[in-house]
Amino acid sequence: MTFDFSGKTVFVAGGTSGINLEIALAFAEAGARVAVLSRSQDKVDGAVAKLRAARAGAEAIGFAADVREQPAVEAALAKTKETFGAIDVLVSGAAGNFPAPAVGISPKGFRSVVEIDLLGTFHVLRSALPHLVQPGASVINISAPQAYIPMEMQMHVCAAKAGVDMVTRVAALEWGAFGVRVNSVSPGPIAETEGMNRLAPTEELRALVADSVPLKRFGTTRDIANCCLWLASPLASYVTGAVIPVDGGWALGGASVSVAGMKKALMG
Ligand code: NAP
């Protein structure tokens, strides 16, 4: 199945690597003009080059900015609208993660994850509203199973992503009147990503994780991008306030086997 986003503007916060870059690329391949934002200028430059190569005539711009800095986020969104027109699809996926038991996380580390994932998502959504196509825009927050499954070694991420899903639901309630849909996509374990490499750094652990997924495999970054294409398309025009797992069924079993394995491997 192919989707057509010709003439549409897509903004992906955190869109310079991994899952979020794949989402940006999928929209670029489908005809959209794409803007990405992340902290590293090198990563922004690399992502913009890939996006411009995604198809003949592809247009892309990038911003080196931190989602914790609201004025910088606001400026990037305003520039995107000025350059490409109002934003049809907004993806908020900037995040940080590291495995650590609660007693091992410094207040600074906990605050950093909450500020990037949760406060950053608020900054992106709140700043974007005046720049969104109304009615018609689709907002997608990239969440995680940690939002609804308590996981050892992940208190900071569980707290932050649970907040992200509540931002999704409240924004869906408030912005439905503007014709703006807001949903969360919750990836399971996704192969060859920074997030998974940090949580399952060895082959042994990765085998354990794959075995704990009902579909018996890791997801691909394209699995997540495909869900975002559908969510942003007219096929999903009555879907808002949803948290959609794209996880091979991983959350059904509580992800307990793999989390226990991770804990053993990381802490002994
Ligand atoms: P990733 O490659 O590390 O992507 C994270 C992106 O966010 C990067 O582009 C990073 O670029 C950017 N970023 C981080 N902090 C930022 C900040 N303060 N301001 C602006 N941008 C920032 O990670 P990933 O594993 O693909 O994960 C992508 C998303 O999927 C995250 O929301 C994650 O929680 C979610 N997720 C991933 C998995 C998985 O299996 N990987 C599972 C569930 C959920 P810079 O370093 O340049 O800032």
Rounded distance from Cα 175 to ligand 1 centre (Å): 26
CATH number for the domain that contains residue 171: 3.40.50.720
The reply to whether 204 falls in a domain is no
The reply to whether 235 falls in a domain is yes
The reply to whether 146 falls in a domain is yes
Which residue segment(s) compose the domain that 78 sits in? 9-193+222-249
CA-closest residue to ligand 1 atom 33:
95
The reply to whether 139 falls in a domain is yes
Rounded distance from Cα 93 to ligand 1 centre (Å): 6
The reply to whether 101 falls in a domain is yes
**Index of the ligand 1 atom closest to the CA of residue 19:** 26
Question: Does residue 258 register a pLDDT over 90?
Answer: no
User: Is the CB of 142 within 6 Å of ligand 1?
Assistant: yes
List, as one string, the DSSP characters of the chain.
Answer: -----TT-EEEEETTTSHHHHHHHHHHHHTT-EEEEEES-HHHHHHHHHHHHTSSTT--EEEEE--TT-HHHHHHHHHHHHHHH-SBSEEEE---------GGGS-HHHHHHHHIIIIIHHHHHHHHHGGGB-TTT-EEEEE--GGGTS--TT-HHHHHHHHHHHHHHHHHHHHHGGGT-EEEEEEE--BTT-HHHHHH--SHHHHHHHHHHSTTSS-B-HHHHHHHHHHHHSGGGTT--S-EEEESTTGGGGTTHHHHHHHHHHHH-
The reply to whether 3 falls in a domain is no
User: Is the CB of 123 within 6 Å of ligand 1?
Assistant: no
Question: Does residue 257 register a pLDDT over 60?
Answer: no
Domains in the chain, number: 1
The string of pLDDT tens digits covering residues 6-42 is 999 999 999 999 999 999 999 999 999 999 999 999 9
User: Is the CB of 261 within 6 Å of ligand 1?
Assistant: no
User: Is the CB of 96 within 6 Å of ligand 1?
Assistant: yes
The reply to whether 93 falls in a domain is yes
Q: Please give the pLDDT value at position 216.
A: 96
**Index of the ligand 1 atom closest to the CA of residue 146:** 43
Q: Please give the pLDDT value at position 255.
A: 73
The reply to whether 228 falls in a domain is yes
